[in-house]
Chains A and B, each alone.
Chain A
């Protein structure tokens, strides 16, 4: 069948919409939610409130970037919440007890997070081939344990005032955590969409064996995913610490589940091969908007949990039905 150029251009466009359709359900969901929230509460659609929502979302959203990489490869990372806490503790320890500068302390925090990712990645890619769920479950326990051990479970208070910029500072009127979040999302989007190593995450998530026989080094790619996850978790942990100006060893509790929810609501396939960070960002924002609007409506936090559970059920059902 021959098609005219106009025709093929049309199919090209309609197909490209279909291809990107994994963000359509969450995007429509977010729009509906925002419309509903602004109707129910006049306060919702104010600049202050929107900025507030985005700032609240930013920590989990940054963690979710790393989670997106891992889930695209067909894995999971349960350690991110603990790793965030550990990085915050290490950074606090260097700032307060060692007296190191901001840059050195933050770098140590980031390095500790990446080492955690490296360790999970090692367990998963070594000869033992530990399932990601188990390896990162172990890492979750180890990182939390180390974070608690460092100060016998006590928070580190009185961090130097200059450190508050990362979490509490502004660039024009935009809080720095939001800017950091947007930069990380932009970089992740570029890496996943336009680079060779980005493509390989999808390849091994889609079909590990097929990727291997085409010469892709699966272990290296997986290692990278967990390294990126550890990196994102550590950034989130440092920003969180700077925001509250306390290194808290129990920080980031259950953040891994929020991050997984954001990625899945964002349309990624939990079994790998599919997912984009734009979807994850929308997923994280959906949960933030939901919490915020329920707060504005004075809905109890207990009921909020129930509502968020049902939103996850709805969004994931849509994405499964769409996949057929």
Chain B
């Protein structure tokens, strides 16, 4: 195929002991595209995302990023490519404040005597403020501990961190799972704005309503295998549910 993709996975397989988590899975993602990955529990969605983010290694298969074959062996590797994962369990550190969490692992610092990195809290506060403002997020107090925030606020902080650091691709694992209706709406609004920032997004979700409201395309996994791939315009909820549950086998197709 001559279409250029931001990310392409080919023949990805992964076993955990005797359990087959993924089998010859393919995935492609265009530039500025929001791709939803859906599937039942244990379909392999999270495993696939962890492979992209470098949290686990695939047993076999190839990963291409911007047309080049890459090997992602650690979270640092994927960060280096411009991929930022936003985990379902949020990966926020509750005992630290919002600002520290936004910059966790990539603090702005000034070097002293070559090796001592002094935190530049002022500049981090400034950048945090600017960034949250640009996403339309209002957080009254940046030095609040993340543990004291509501679920929605925590999710928003987690996503905005991913957006701040993800140069090319943001992966969101169940971003609305723990949220109420109003909070989900805000998070979905936030996700829609991401493609304006020249970002591609992969979103894992159980909630088809949310998938249809933000995604450009939906890919279905079933028992660790590809079970369908549709643009949102050419499909509907009923068909996606069938692909998830495997009710209509005639409809199976695998794209490479």
Contacts and interface: CB of A to CB of B under 8 A. Distances in A.
A170 to B, nearest CB: 30
B143 A199 contact: no
Given A199-B100, A202-B96, A15 B144 contact: yes
Interface string A1-26: 00100001001100110010000000
A196 B93 contact: no
Interface string A251-276: 00000000000000000010001100
A68 to B, nearest CB: 15
A50 B75 CA distance: 53
Contacts of B116: 195
Contacts of A203: 93, 96, 100, 104
B75 A212 contact: yes
A187 to B, nearest CB: 11
B95 A215 contact: no
B140 interface: yes
Interface in B75-92: 75-76, 79, 85, 87, 89-92
A302 interface: no
Nearest to B144: A15
A214 interface: yes
Contacts of B85: 213
Given A15-B144, A206-B93, A206-B95, A215 B76 contact: yes
A269 B94 CA distance: 13
B119 A214 contact: no
Contact of B94 (A15, A207, A213): A207
Contacts of B16: none
Task: Specify the main secondary structure of chain A where it touches its partner.
Answer: helix
B91 A197 contact: no
Contact of B107 (A3, A196, A206, A274): A196
A271 B145 CA distance: 17
A269 B95 CA distance: 11
A214 B91 contact: yes
Contacts, number: 80
A197 B107 CA distance: 10
A171 interface: no
A213 B93 contact: no
B55 interface: yes
B106 interface: yes
Nearest to B115: A197
Given A195-B116, A210-B91, A274-B95, A215 B100 contact: no
Nearest to A196: B117
B119 A195 contact: yes
Contacts of A206: 93-96
Interface of B: 53, 55, 75-76, 79, 85, 87, 89-96, 100, 104-107, 109, 116-119, 140-141, 143-145
12 contacts: A15-B141, A194-B118, A194-B119, A196-B109, A202-B96, A203-B100, A207-B93, A210-B93, A211-B105, A214-B91, A214-B104, A269-B95
Interface of A: 3, 8, 11-12, 15-16, 19, 194-197, 199, 202-203, 205-207, 209-216, 269, 273-274
Given A195-B118, A195-B119, 15 more contacts: A3-B140, A194-B119, A196-B118, A203-B100, A206-B94, A210-B91, A211-B93, A211-B105, A213-B75, A213-B85, A213-B87, A213-B91, A215-B76, A216-B104, A269-B95
